[in-house]
């Protein structure tokens, strides 16, 4: 994203394991992206690829 033309909109859709999503560093990184003006499409709670159930799944295609 360093080469992204910041005059153009950028949406980001996080997706990861719940433990990763809840890590404080992840929150800092998401906040930094938002500070650049990027728009977050929030992750959702459901059964994840790792088998856990919780927050971290990518938003549905229709939402994106």
5-59 pLDDT per residue, tens: 988 999 999 999 999 999 999 999 999 999 999 999 999 999 998 899 999 999 9
pLDDT of residue 4: 86
Active site residue 50: yes
- Residue from 10, 39, 45, 50 carrying the catalytic annotation: 50
CA distances from 38 to 6, 12, 41, 54, 58 (A): 9, 7, 10, 25, 17
pLDDT of residue 21: 97
Whole-prediction pTM: 0.84
Give the separation between CA 63 and CA 54, rounded to whole angstroms.
Answer: 18
């Amino acid at each position: 994203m360093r080469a992204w033309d910041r005059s153009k909109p950028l949406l980001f859709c996080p997706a990861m394991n719940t433990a990763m999503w809840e890590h404080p560093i992840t929150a800092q990184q998401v906040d930094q992206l938002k500070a650049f003006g990027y728009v977050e499409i929030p992750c959702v709670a459901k059964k994840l690829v790792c088998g856990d159930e919780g927050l971290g799944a990518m938003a549905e295609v229709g939402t994106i």
